[in-house]
Amino acid sequence: MSDKKTMQETTEVDVYPDLRDAIRRPCLVMMDGVDVGRSFELRTSILIGRSEDADVCVLKGDVSRQHARLEVVGENVEVVDLDSVNGTWVNGKGVKGRQILIDGDYVRVGAETTLKFSYVNDVERDLQKVIQDTSISDPLTGTHNRQHFIDAVSREISFHVRHKHPISILLMDVDGFKDLNSTHGDAVGDSLLVRLTQVAQKTLREEDLFCRFGGEEFAAVLRNTGLIDAKRVAERLRYGISKITAWSPKQEKVNATVSIGIATAESPECPSVKDLLELADEELNNAKRDGHDQVRGRIFQRGG
């Protein structure tokens, strides 16, 4: 009886914190691009620019290496344009020298990159993190989604061009996935996709980006990786995925295999995202045509 009563009791709270009184700190939130929704807390200063050393790194040609800086000056936050080529703008007006920012201002660097300046408390900052994670993640596997991947590939191609390093894209498709779902049910298929993602995350490097491209198709971008090394990575993925197992409602063991297509760009070639994805898709189709559970790849050549 006392156990029942305990379960039904509600704890009384004497203190109800007013979030309006919580400490609010200045921050910037990225409003577009690959880092959309990402927030940057401002303690003393934040450098925005194309340089990889910038606090807010924007890898776009219209953004200068050191484009603008936000600085805490007394009780205010000021934005300073660092003699950028394409200017810094606040709410559509060009910044001349320094300008004090107020809560809700929109700061634009270059032609199209916009950040929102605001003062937020810890609860609001945590909410922004949840919103960002939701916008770039696949709900089933927890890995990145297609749009985030495409934006990231664009950024990686810029890195490839500047540093003259190779870049490789992998497109991966689960062989016979629709038949697998029809035979064993969607829950079994979903379980295999989750386990596939786990294998990929253990196999790939921290700097590599993996995503669910759609349905049973996945993709990865490998920085500073030529075709030979990309094929080695793809073979490790293919082998690791072939060893994962799910169980059907009838307690039948279910395995899966993948076909993988690779597209590699080497300096001085400067392909578009579309160029690399189309080549990787062609090689993926070649892998399927050759019997599934295969890896095929090719170096991108303009007009080739």
Domain count of the chain? 2
117 lies in the same domain as 148: no
Measure the CA–CA gap between 274 and 37, rounded to whole angstroms. 25
148 lies in the same domain as 268: yes
Q: What are the E-state strand segments in the chain? A: 25-30, 39-41, 45-49, 56-57, 68-73, 76-81, 88-90, 93-94, 98-101, 106-109, 113-120, 167-174, 209-214, 217-223, 246-247, 253-254, 258-265, 295-299
Residue 8 falls inside a structural domain = no
- Give the helix/strand (H/E) hosting 230: helix 227-242
Residue 7 falls inside a structural domain = no
Q: What are phi and psi of 278, to 5 degrees?
A: -65, -40
Residue 203 falls inside a structural domain = yes
pLDDT tens digits for 148-204? 888 888 888 887 877 788 999 999 999 999 999 999 999 999 999 999 999 999 999
Of 128, 158, 183, the last residue of a domain is 128
Residue 234 falls inside a structural domain = yes
Residue 254 falls inside a structural domain = yes
Contact 120, 25 (CB under 8 A): yes
189 lies in the same domain as 284: yes
pLDDT tens digits for 44-92? 999 999 988 899 988 888 999 999 999 999 999 999 999 999 999 999 9
- CATH at residue 103: 2.60.200.20
Sign of CA dihedral 22, 28, 34, 36: positive
209 lies in the same domain as 99: no
Of 96, 128, 160, the last residue of a domain is 128
Of 69, 101, 128, the last residue of a domain is 128
Residue 14 falls inside a structural domain = no
148 lies in the same domain as 122: no
Q: Count Cβ atoms below 10 Å from residue 97 Cβ, excluding itself.
A: 7
Give the β-pairing of 45-49 and 56-57: parallel
Provide the pLDDT confidence category of residue 268 given band limits of 50, 70 and 90: confident
167 lies in the same domain as 101: no
Residue 206 falls inside a structural domain = yes
The torsion region of residue 152 among left (phi > 0), alpha (psi -120 to 50) and beta comes to: alpha
pTM over 0.85: no
81 lies in the same domain as 193: no
Measure the CA–CA gap between 296 and 282, rounded to whole angstroms. 9
Enter the tokens of residue 262: 């690779």
112 lies in the same domain as 169: no
Measure the CA–CA gap between 195 and 141, rounded to whole angstroms. 8
DSSP, collapsed to helix, strand or coil, labels residue 51 as coil
**In which domain, by residue range, is 206 found?**
144-297
Rg of the chain over all Cα atoms, to the nearest angstrom? 24
158 lies in the same domain as 191: yes
pLDDT tens digits for 223-250? 999 999 999 999 999 999 999 999 888 8
- CATH at residue 230: 3.30.70.270
Residue 303 falls inside a structural domain = no
162 lies in the same domain as 199: yes
